[in-house]
Structure formats: structure tokens, C-alpha cells
Amino acid sequence: MSVAQQAKKKEIVDDLIDLLSAEQVNTNEEDLYEASVDRYKKFAYARNAVDVPKPAAIVYPNSSEEVSSILEFCNQQKINVIPRSGDTSTEGGLENWKENTIIIDAENLDKIVDINTYNMEAKVQAGVPLEELENALREKGFTTGHSPQSKPVAKMGGLVATRSIGQLSTLYGGIEDMVIGLECVFPDGHIANIKNVPRRAGGPDIRHIAIGNEGTLCYITEVTVKIFKYYPDNNKFYGYLTEDIETGIKVLREVMVNGYRPSVARAYSEEDANQHFYHFSKDKCVLILMAEGPENIVEATGEAIEEAVEKFSDGIIEEVDSELIENWFNNLNWSQQDIDDEYEGMIENDSHTGFTTEISANWETIPVIYNNVMRRIKEEFPRAHELTLLGGHSSHSYINGTNLYFVYNYEINCAPEDELRVYHHPIHKIIVEETLKQGGSMCHHHGIGKYRSEWTKEEHGSAYYMLEKLKEVFDPNDIMNYGSIFPKEDGIKKYINKEK
């Protein structure tokens, strides 16, 4: 950092302390290092080889009004801002590409404001961990229905900002189906409150300007979500070994198009199944379903699952004990300890890691994308021989299609700072390219972040016009999360392609 930049940094930090308080402005070097990247660069981070600038400070506003003052200040000074909630981001959404960036952390926006079990809604501030809300609801016999694997750590603001999805999505939907209303703050300091109503036809649905904005348009301070009755005693689990992943996907489609909504609906390739279900998968593919809700609905859903399995019985090898599926489901989530342990492993052990890329497409296209991606990675990725796992699963189904969650693990034989360029990004690129070529969406639920921004224009085609105009109107000084969603050539060249 140049002398001028250092002086600027000191000035910014002093101004922020004046605006908030000393306790609300964190300049601890270790925390700033941690805040400079997210899990896309987890290996370089673990090996102390991060190549992006550290932010100038992390600030912790206590109210929407304080968020408004910080944004107004940064907008006037043209300071880059990265909103942060649970810090579980995977696509570079929290990675910093600018000197003197400010991280606005939702830690102190931590109140469950209201749980209304008559109107079936819960209002929370952005920094409330989903698990905290879920536990409070379960005590009363209710649930959010939202269950991403990161539930113990991810927080409500980030979950909404990334359009997250949970493992029970086939029944409850993604976060966009749950958010009734919200409050968000724009770079000019304007606080916008979208009221909570069951439905509206008052023009375009402006909730969606905030939902999925990934901190590039506004800061989400508060959200109200639907809640549902919780019937854990009725849950029923179903598991099968299948000849191939296509059979599993055909069963998922059959159940969906017949009008049933299991909460969990997953079909795994044999490689991916081996990773999760090594104790029973016998090198075969695995199909998993769960029926939940009121007893008669569970009964009917269970029958529909069994009928669909029967219809494709040629590809079904055997049924799996439902207790094994239930046990797997109950131990699926990642706690902060699991995340920390993974980092420790990367610091101490030999160089091996794994990543994922998730996409979506219609029923006809999904098997084509799966097979083309598998073939292309094996044929085109120069380090294919260093892969220790390549496979995937479908885990979120809809009436007209499903997602694919590709998983790839590999041995790393290069400098830690080059891991992204040599291994992760080339594989990610093949998956994204192949999906876009086939007309699917390159991004099912992790957000675009910085590492899919190269393809944002291709993803949206002629509709990119609409996205670009939102950015121009709401963030004219381009202070919100530089490089996320909206492609920035300088950052792509410098931090992805490593051009000097």
C-alpha cells in the first residue's frame, strides 16, 4: 500500500470512528486478512498466500440508521463497501478487489424482532443466524422450512442477499419464496421498507431488487419470512441404490410432475455417493427422498415416491434402510467448528481440497449437461489425473427441471496462490460454459460473486440491460461490492487470470 493510500486509510478509519464509535470499527490485522477473501480462495487463505488487498476496516452498525450514515459517507467519499453477514460465502462475494474497502458486518443487527404465529411470519434483523431463528421457532412448534447446509453459521441478511436455498426446498421453496417483506438501505442513505402482505400486484415485485443483490445494490437490514407448522414426528425417509444418476433424476421428475412435493429429493452420481454414503452405497448411485408435513400428506407423498420408484425399477438396484438416510440427514449441516477444522487441515496436512459448482436446467437438458461436463473435464482439464473425486448430485427439483451440484476434489501440486488459476477456476469454467451453451442457468444458489461475473452478461443475454440499469440507478458511484455480479475487467485480469 502506497504512503498516500495509508494516509487515506487512516483518515477513513478516523472518520468512521467519529461516525460510530471506536468499539464499532475493527482494524485488527488478522481480522482484516480473514475479511479479504471468502471460501473461493480457502486454500490460499489457509496457506497465508492471499493476493488481494486487505480492507481498511470492518464496521459493526447498531441500527439501520447507522448503516445509512456509513453508506452515505462511503458514497460521498467513493469508498468501496462489502456487506457481510454470516461469512459463509463461496463464490468470491466477500473477496475484496479495492484498496481501502469497508466491510459492513451485520453482527450487531442481531434481534429477532417478532414471531407472529397467527399471521405465520417472523421478522428478524440481518445478523440473526438462521439456526437461532429456527430454534426459537421450533420451541413453539414452527419452522422456517429453510435448511441450507450452512444453517448454523449463515445469517438472515446474507441468506437473502444470495438467494440461498435449503435442503427442504422442494417442499418449502428457496428463500425468495419465503421473504414476505424487508428493509434495505441504498448507497445514498435511503432506507426502504417493503411491507409484509400475503401478495401484491402493485407493479413489479421490488423485493427482488434486494433479494439476490449480493451486496451490489443495497444493504439488507431486516427481513420478514413466512413460517410453517413443524411436524418432525411424521417425517419419512426413502433411499435406493440406482444403476445411474439418470434413473434417480427420472424418479425425481416423475414425483414432481405428478404433483407431489417431497421435502428432500436428491439423486447422486456413484462418485459423489461414495463420498457421503460410503457405508452403504456399494459403488452405486444413490437416490434419497423425504416426505414431511401433516400425516395424510406424508402418506400420499410416500405412496407417490414408491410408485415412481416402481415405474423405473429396471434402474433400481435395491432399497436402503430408511434409518441410514435419517442418520445422514441429521448430520448434514456444517458448524463453524467444521469450517475451522477444514482450514486447519489445509494448513497442516498435505495439499488436497474440494469445491463445488451448482447450476440448473430443464429436465431434458440436465442429463446432457451432466454427461458433457464429465467428459469435458476428463478430456480437457490438463490436471485431470490429479482429481480424487469428480461427480455430482441433483438436490433441488421443480416442476420443469432440477439443479446439478458438481463436486470436485483434487491434489494440489502448485504454489498456494496459483491453486485457483491452475485447478479450481478451469473446472468451474467448463461447468459454467457447458451449462450456458445448453441454455441452463450457470448459478443455482451460491450467487455469482466475483468468480462467475465473467459470464453474467451471457447468463442474462438481452435482459442484462435491466440489471445494468439497476446498478446505474441505485449505485451510480459504483461503491457496492466492486467486482461482484457486474464484471470488472481489471479485477478479472488481475485476480483471476493473474495478468500483471
Ligand X SMILES: Cc1cc2nc3c(=O)[nH]c(=O)nc-3n(C[C@H](O)[C@H](O)[C@H](O)COP(=O)(O)OP(=O)(O)OC[C@H]3O[C@@H](n4cnc5c(N)ncnc54)[C@H](O)[C@@H]3O)c2cc1C
Question: Cβ neighbours of residue 39 under 8 Å, at least 6 residues apart?
Answer: 88, 89, 90
Q: Which stretch binds ligand X (CB under 6 A): 21-29, 151-159, 345-353, 374-382?
A: 151-159
Chain length of the chain? 500
220 touching ligand X, by CB under 6 A: yes
SS3 of 58, please?
A: strand
Q: How far is the CB of 158 from ligand X (least distance, A)?
A: 2
Rounded distance between C-alpha atoms, residue 320 and residue 273, angstroms: 13
Given 36, 162, 269, 397, the residue binding ligand X (CB under 6 A): 162
Query: Is 148 a binder of ligand X (CB under 6 A)?
Result: yes
Q: Which is nearer to ligand X, 41 or 250 (CB)?
A: 41
* H helical segments located in 140-196: 156-161, 169-172, 175-178
Q: Are strands 81-84 and 102-105 parallel, antiparallel or unpaired?
A: parallel
114 or 341, CB closer to ligand X? 341
Residue nearest to ligand X (CB): 158
Residue number with CB closer to ligand X (157 or 416): 157
- Binding characters for ligand X, 368-407, by CB under 6 A (x = yes): ----------------------------------------
- Residue 8's DSSP bridge partners are none
Q: Give the number of residues in contact with ligand X, rule: CB under 6 A.
A: 36
Neighbours of 1 (CB within 10 A): 12
Interface with ligand X, residue 83, by CB under 6 A: yes
The yes or no reply on residue 446 touching ligand X (CB under 6 A) is: yes
88 is in an annotated binding site: yes
**Is 401 a known ligand-binding residue?**
no
Kindly provide the residue ranges of all beta strands, DSSP E only, lying in 72-141, ordered along the sequence: 81-84, 102-105, 112-116, 121-125
Q: Is 215 in the site for ligand X (CB under 6 A)?
A: yes
Q: Which of 26, 36, 64, 89 binds ligand X (CB under 6 A)?
A: 89
**CA dist 177 → 139, 294, 467, 494 (Å):** 23, 20, 21, 37
Is 217 a known ligand-binding residue? yes
Binding to ligand X by residue 164, rule CB under 6 A? Answer: yes
Q: Which of 341, 404, 332 is CA-nearest to residue 367? A: 404
- 58, 70, 75, 93: residue in contact with ligand X (rule CB under 6 A): 93
Closest CA to 176 of 129, 223, 142: 223
Q: Which of 66, 87, 271, 419 binds ligand X (CB under 6 A)?
A: 87
Known active-site residue 482: no
List the beta bridge partners of residue 409.
354, 389
Give every CB contact of residue 160 below 8 A, 6+ residues apart in sequence: 126, 175, 179, 182, 210, 211, 220, 223
- What binding mask, one character per residue, do residues 328-347 give for ligand X by CB under 6 A, x or -? ------x-------------
Which of these segments, 71-79, 142-150, 259-267, 317-325, binds ligand X (CB under 6 A)? 142-150
Per CB under 6 A, 479 contacts ligand X: no
By CB under 6 A, residue 46 contacts ligand X: no
**How far, in Å, CA of 75 to CA of 188, rounded?**
7
Cβ-contact 391, 269 below 8 angstroms: yes
391 beta partners: 407
Sequence-ordered strand ranges (E) for 281-333: 285-291, 316-320
Which of 40, 45, 405, 482 does the annotation list as catalytic? 405
Among residues 61, 86, 152, 262, the one that binds ligand X under rule CB under 6 A? 86
218 among annotated binding-site residues: yes
Question: Residue ranges for the binding site for FAD?
Answer: 83-89, 214-220
Question: Residue ranges for the binding site?
Answer: 83-89, 214-220
Active-site residue set: 405
State the residues that interact with ligand X by CB under 6 A: 39, 82-90, 93-94, 106, 126, 148-150, 154-155, 157-159, 161-162, 164-165, 214-215, 219-220, 334, 445-447, 481, 484
